Structure 1
Amino acid sequence: MMTRLQPPIPLNLPKTSVQPPSHISASTNDAGLLFRQKILHLQALNVNPQKALHQNPNFRCTPLSSLLSLEHYLLSLGLSRPAVGRILDMHPKLLTADIPRDLEPIIDFLLEEVLIPFNDLPKSLTRCPRILVSDLKTQLRPSFKFLVEFGFKGSHKINCQTTVLLVSSVERTLKPKIDFLKNLGLSDEEVERMVIRSPGLLTFSVENNLVPKVDFFIQEMKGDLDELKKFPQYFSFSLERKIKPRYRILVDHGFKLPLAQMLRVSDGEFNARLIEMRLKLAERSSLL
């Protein structure tokens, strides 16, 4: 039995969510005009009609009232109208979704099983609209179960920042990242701590991100795995635009910094730190 959690405060929905916009006539029976009104409403939401019809041809036969009901439902979840438009433009499949069958079970899952607070729903959905078009039984629930068993529970439970992990396949996406880290010689507990501290690790490509960054860290930087355990956020920085340039600048000047100090700061702060280290080195040299 599905239950509906009520928001803590009344929703003040825009009038457009319950009343047809001015370009829509509720009384016309002309099929061509009704179709044009649908297109105009998509454009008002900043949804590309050509893209929508190409990716979801069934929308051509969908009543305008269904589009208005869908918009109203998404607004009732706390999404802004621009956010609704972006979500529909990204996933035109939603334009023909059956709300009770396709959407309400997913929202119930987020609220009642994942325990996302109602006020955080908009953040979860705007960060990962794909949740709304993912299969609950074959995708969302299995991934959630795996993540909870892995360690995303208690104070580290899935939240609006990490709901994006729910759309990742357990076998094709989540397990390969975890196995890669274990194959570096890290224990199960060490991998768990790294991933909990930096959940983005589970979203990065093994071939295009993890492998080249580990290779550079070990082969060129001669780094120690203990440093990666302390700073797993290393993998979230660009290898070509930040890691390599900053490391090589430090090497050219004979300096070394911990990963966090090398990468976390802005370019201005990094350059200021470099100048400071050079001045201190010059002062020490002058005393010799």
Structure 2
Amino acid sequence: MILRMQLLLPQPLSPHYSSSSTTGLNPISTPKPLISRKALNSHHTPTTTTVDSGLKFREKILYLESLKVNPTKVLQKNPNLRSAPLSSLQSVEHCLSSMGIEQSALGRILDMFPQLLTADPSNQIYPVFEFLLNDVEIPYSDIRKCIIRCPRLLVSGVESQLKPALEFLIKLGFVGANRITCQTTVLLVSNVDHTLTPKIDFLMGLGFEYNEVAKMVIRSPALLTFSIENNFMPKLEYFLEEMNGDLEELKRFPQYFSFNLEGKIKKRHRILVEHGLSLPLSKMLTVSDGEFNARLIEMQLELVEERQL
């Protein structure tokens, strides 16, 4: 018998054929990179934009330091400064310098009120200058003095704060020879309802008439800047209880409230009491220590002479 052997030729694979299903081996695949070359390069090489931003920020820091402004402090108080262009800061400096404010004073002002560094001069700063020049009628040469004495003027709204305060003070009697000057513009930053009116009411509560109070504050404008709790009340208490004072004397000398209670009022009053002497408030407080001591010796000699007669 002749056996016929047939060679089995390899058959084409089925479309559903999988080598893994027949051999149990996993197919070999090309691994994908975890980080692309582009991303890798960008991670190690700073972009031009990043470098430029860093340089611009450094320029702002150096600029602030040149003005004697503490960069760390102002950045904490005004975060918007980080994104503000250098030209914006320079425009604020130019605005303030145009009104005669020297760079030495400029640094102190900007350090106190960092919000000015990102202010819009046209809408926020120049209107204050216009108000002082036109409404308050401060001479141009005195604008610098106003700002240096009270930088808060620059961050006070004209319509919301400055104008209402000016109207209140004019009604009180700050007109003509007693009008607001560069020495009293500090009163303009006081809120009418929360600061000025309560102080007028306090003084009237002592028994003074409105006209009497008006004369007192015009004679001594600083009265409107003092704290009721920390200034008026303790000094009034000492005047009435320890000095046995008369309110009429406060009408004549309202400046009493401007003197230091511990350092001058109590000290000089006790010296007079120890020697059995007394002086009007004005003579007791307005003279220097040397003049006070000289007056004290003179009064002691006069007292001795009287006793010898």
Q: TM-score, normalised by structure 1?
A: 0.88
1:10-49 matches, cutoff 5 A: 30-49=52-71
| Paired AA for residue 94 in structure 1 | L
- In structure 2, what is the equivalent of residue 262 of structure 1? 284
Please list every run of 5 or more consecutive structure 2 residues that lacks an aligned counterpart in the other structure. 1-50
Q: Is the contact made by 2:74 and 2:114 (CA closer than 8 Å) also made in structure 1?
A: yes
| Paired AA for residue 47 in structure 1 | V
Q: Indicate which of 226, 233, 252 corresponds to 2:248.
A: 226
- In structure 1, what is the equivalent of residue 100 of structure 2? 78
Larger Rg computed on CA atoms: 2
Aligned-pair identity (%)? 60
- In structure 1, what is the equivalent of residue 129 of structure 2? 107
C-alpha distance in structure 1 between counterparts of 2:61 and 2:192, whole Å: 38
Q: Does residue 64 of structure 1 match 2:86?
A: yes
- In structure 2, what is the equivalent of residue 148 of structure 1? 170
Higher RCO (C-alpha 8 Å, min separation 6): 1
Q: Using the TM superposition, give the Cα deviation of residue 63 of structure 1 relative to its aligned residue in structure 2, in angstroms.
A: 0.9
C-alpha distance in structure 1 between counterparts of 2:288 and 2:271, whole Å: 15
User: Deviation digits for residues 112-131 of structure 1, max 9, x if unmatched?
Assistant: 00111100001100111001
C-alpha distance in structure 1 between counterparts of 2:93 and 2:286, whole Å: 40
Q: Using the TM superposition, give the Cα deviation of residue 110 of structure 1 relative to its aligned residue in structure 2, in angstroms.
A: 0.7
User: Deviation digits for residues 47-97 of structure 1, max 9, x if unmatched?
Assistant: 111110011000111111111121111111011111111110110010000
Q: Using the TM superposition, give the Cα deviation of residue 220 of structure 1 relative to its aligned residue in structure 2, in angstroms.
A: 1.2
Q: TM-score, normalised by structure 2?
A: 0.82
User: Deviation digits for residues 212-241 of structure 1, max 9, x if unmatched?
Assistant: 111111111111111111111100001111
- In structure 1, what is the equivalent of residue 264 of structure 2? 242
C-alpha distance in structure 1 between counterparts of 2:263 and 2:194, whole Å: 28
Q: Is the contact made by 2:95 and 2:126 (CA closer than 8 Å) also made in structure 1?
A: no
Deviant stretches of 4+, over 6 Å: none
Q: Using the TM superposition, give the Cα deviation of residue 283 of structure 1 relative to its aligned residue in structure 2, in angstroms.
A: 2.7
C-alpha distance in structure 2 between counterparts of 1:110 and 1:149, whole Å: 18
Q: Using the TM superposition, give the Cα deviation of residue 183 of structure 1 relative to its aligned residue in structure 2, in angstroms.
A: 0.7
Q: Does residue 132 of structure 1 match 2:154?
A: yes
| Paired AA for residue 268 in structure 1 | G
Q: Using the TM superposition, give the Cα deviation of residue 272 of structure 1 relative to its aligned residue in structure 2, in angstroms.
A: 1.4
User: Deviation digits for residues 238-258 of structure 1, max 9, x if unmatched?
Assistant: 111110110011011010000
C-alpha distance in structure 1 between counterparts of 2:219 and 2:55, whole Å: 54
Q: Using the TM superposition, give the Cα deviation of residue 282 of structure 1 relative to its aligned residue in structure 2, in angstroms.
A: 2.1
| Paired AA for residue 98 in structure 2 | S
